[in-house]
Amino acid sequence: MPLNSDTSPHCHPELSEGSEPPAIGASSLVVAGFDYVLPPERIAQTPVEPRDSSRLLVLHRATGRLEHRTFRDIADYLAPGDLLVANDSRVLAGRLWARKPTGGRVELLLLRQADGPDGWWETLARPANRLREGQRLVLETVTQIAEADSDRHAPPPPQGGRGSGGEGAMAEVGPHTPAGSVLVRFDAPAEEIAARYGQVPLPPYIHASLADPERYQTVYSRVTGSAAAPTAGLHFTPQLLDALSSRGVRFAFVTLHVGLDTFRPIQAEHVAGHTMHSEFVSVPQETAAAIAQARRAGRRVVAIGTTTVRSLESWATQTGFGDDVAAAAGDSSALT
């Protein structure tokens, strides 16, 4: 990452030691080289409390020494004047269920609003191959689905759905996209649809239900639009942020709305052969200015997670990473 010679974009290393390792070209990276065995029983199904009691692996780059710490100990590796940059995107409650006219159930995951004035949304649909352009779907709440499952012999719902509040909302199926998503539009604003019918989507390897949807949001999230959480930031608590601020650590925020590629498998043999789906990125003026000021003062710029790294890489590419501290916003397909 070109932002700072001491910044590591992927982990939580000991930031004060060593120099930047030599760059490795993406064309030389084989995707299979990143495979590893992760037993399912080692995947935690419920989050630890408090958030900052999760584990922290620290790598001293100069010596290769590893330390096993607790996440709140990250304060020991940050110095006054360091700038933490985090992604403030908030997860949209965009996991929806609907019924086809035949009664078959469809699951939809809202990804992003498509370009144009017609109100289409890109979605991941399951099963997508059974959706046809022009079909009308009836949206259902989780409660309605449970009621339907308790009476499997009941006929398909009418066009109004099963809700006690009258007719259910409708969705129209549009074209399938080359990226594998399906365009869908609703008879009400998507934000209202998500509030009434949606659930926060969890990763497919998490099978336990989420008791508190806020637990899958970072404590500093504020701009709704992601299909999945920027998970590196989930470990921060308000108390830890206050402690870091008292230590003189500064904060700045970018926005990157996590999209399709969080869910789409990489099928290319080499990393360079994988095409990233675009994501919305915004680096505001105050963040650009804070980064420029930190660099001029020789302070470290620390990116929290790969979504923040992608945001900063996109910003640096667009603005030339000079001293003009220009803001930037738009779609990006940066690969990190």
Say yes or no: 155 and 257 in one domain.
no
Say yes or no: 182 and 56 in one domain.
no
What is the Cα–Cα distance from 124 to 107, expressed in whole angstroms? 8
Q: What is the pTM of this model?
A: 0.80
Please give the pLDDT value at position 147. 67
Residue with tokens 């269920």: 97
| Whether 47 contacts 235, CB under 8 Å | no
Length of the chain: 336
Q: Which two tokens stand for residue 319?
A: 């603005």
Question: Looking at this protein, which amino acid is placed at residue 158?
Answer: P
CATH number for the domain spanning 128: value is: 2.40.10.240
| Whether 311 contacts 256, CB under 8 Å | yes
Say yes or no: 174 and 285 in one domain.
no
Say yes or no: 107 and 145 in one domain.
yes
**In angstroms, what CA-CA distances link 84 with 80, 236, 241, 257?**
11, 12, 10, 19
| Residue 6 forms part of a structural domain | no
Say yes or no: 239 and 175 in one domain.
no
What is the Cα–Cα distance from 253 to 296, expressed in whole angstroms? 19
- The number of folded domains in the chain is 2
Dump pLDDT digits (tens) for 187-208: 999 999 999 999 999 888 888 8
Say yes or no: 218 and 289 in one domain.
yes
DSSP secondary structure letter of residue 157: P
Please give the pLDDT value at position 79. 96
Sign of CA dihedral 89, 7, 43, 243: negative
Say yes or no: 76 and 158 in one domain.
no
| Residue 301 forms part of a structural domain | yes
Say yes or no: 42 and 144 in one domain.
no
Say yes or no: 174 and 307 in one domain.
no
Say yes or no: 218 and 324 in one domain.
yes
Residue with tokens 């609703």: 186
The distance in angstroms from the start CA to the end CA of the chain is 9
3 falls in which pLDDT band (50, 70, 90)? very low
Examine the pLDDT at 73 and tell me if it is beyond 90.
Answer: yes
163, 197, 231 — which closes off a domain?
Answer: 197
Alpha helices in the chain (DSSP H): 142-150, 190-197, 238-246, 285-296, 306-319
Say yes or no: 85 and 186 in one domain.
no
Binning the chain into helix, strand and coil, the percentages to the nearest 5 are: 25, 25, 50
Sign of CA dihedral 182, 187, 191, 196: negative
Please give the pLDDT value at position 192. 93
What is the Cα–Cα distance from 145 to 197, expressed in whole angstroms? 11
Dump pLDDT digits (tens) for 206-249: 888 888 999 999 999 999 999 999 999 999 999 999 999 999 99
153, 174, 197 — which closes off a domain?
Answer: 197
Examine the pLDDT at 28 and tell me if it is beyond 80.
Answer: no
Range of the domain at 157: 95-197
CATH number for the domain spanning 262: value is: 3.40.1780.10
